[in-house]
Structure 1
Amino acid sequence: MKIYKLHKYQKLPITKAQAWEFLSDPANLKVITPNYMGFDILDGADRKMYQGQVIQYIVTPVAGIKTKWVTEITHVKEGEYFVDEQRFGPYALWHHKHFIKEIEGGIEMEDIIHYKLPFGLLGRIAHPIIVKNKLEEIFAYRQKKLIELFGDYK
């Protein structure tokens, strides 16, 4: 059983309160997701993030194949961090921690994702060819979009 890890940092020239306000609104996930992914929220994004919240999406990550993704917000510490875990979707395991830390001149966001692919050996073969590259591309888009929205940290 292979569990992969993606670890990303981004600094932004905004306050912790501004960062939390944006990140704790589930509807903003669509704003920072590439359009080609066909990201649509079906249910559960009608209020600010809270522990136990279940959010349902449709995504089209590869080859126009629509996939339902259901996540649960399992942990929330107001203004500090939250954790989302996939309950149903394309991964065998998806555990995503989001941290916000105040730094001089702004904030640093940290994302730590542990994930496992389905399909055993086929999943492990697909990882370096498709999945890892796709996740890197999504997070590169997210970083660029957040800079467009909030400015670049200098």
Structure 2
Amino acid sequence: MQLYQLRSKQYLPISTDKAWNFLSDPSNLKVITPDHMGFDILSGADRKMFPGQIIQYKVKPFPGYTTKWVTEITHVKEGSYFVDEQRFGPYNLWHHKHFIKEVKKGVEMEDIIDYKLPFGLLGQLVHPFLVKKQLQQIFNYREQKLNSLFGSIEGIENTIEFKTI
């Protein structure tokens, strides 16, 4: 069983309250997802985030393939972090931790995603050029979109890294 991890850090010149209010609103996920993903929220995003919240999406991760994705918000610490876990969808495992912390001149947003692909060896073979590439594009888009909405902090490098765990 091959597990993968994506770690991303982005720095924005905003308060933790402003970052939290934006990121903890499930409807804003559509704002920071590329249009080509065909991302639509079907249900569950009508309230502020809370533990136990079930959110259903429709997503098109690859051309010609549309699927429903159901996540549960499992943990929330107001202003600091939340965790979403896939209940049904394209991954065998999807555990996504979102952290927000105050830094000099703004906030650091850190995403840590542990995930496992379906299809065994075939999933492992397509990971580098299909799944990893797609996730890289999504997080690059998010970085650009968040920078356009809130600005960036000069002199601090945003990072994204993948590893097998």
Shorter-normalised TM range: over 0.9
Contiguous gaps of at least 5 residues in structure 2 = 155-165
Query: Does structure 1 residue 121 correspond to structure 2 residue 118?
Result: no
- When you count strand as a share of all residues, which structure comes out higher? 2
Please list the CA deviations of residues 31-82 of structure 1 after superposition, one character each: whole Å capped at 9, or x if unmatched.
Answer: 0000000000000000110000000000001023111000000000000000
Pairwise CA distance, 1:152: 1.3
In the TM superposition, 1:43-122 aligns within 5 A as: 43-122=43-122
Q: Supply the AA of the counterpart residue of 2:89.
A: G
Contiguous gaps of at least 5 residues in structure 1 = none
Query: What root-mean-square deviation, in Å, do the aligned CA atoms of Structure 1 and Structure 2 show?
Result: 0.5
Where do 4+ consecutive residues of structure 1 move more than 3 Å? none
* TM-score scaled by length of structure 2: 0.92
Matched residue of 1:86: which SS?
A: strand
Q: Supply the AA of the counterpart residue of 2:121.
A: L
Pairwise CA distance, 1:126: 1.0
User: Aligned equivalents of 1:129 and 1:16: distance in 2?
Assistant: 35
Pairwise CA distance, 1:92: 0.2
Matched residue of 1:125: which SS?
A: helix
Pairwise CA distance, 1:153: 1.2
Q: Supply the AA of the counterpart residue of 1:26.
A: P
Question: Paired residue for 1:142?
Answer: 142
Pairwise CA distance, 1:129: 1.6
Query: Does structure 1 residue 24 correspond to structure 2 residue 24?
Result: yes
* TM-score scaled by length of structure 1: 0.99
Give the percent of matched residue pairs that are identical in Structure 1 and Structure 2: 68
User: Aligned equivalents of 1:128 and 1:24: distance in 2?
Assistant: 30
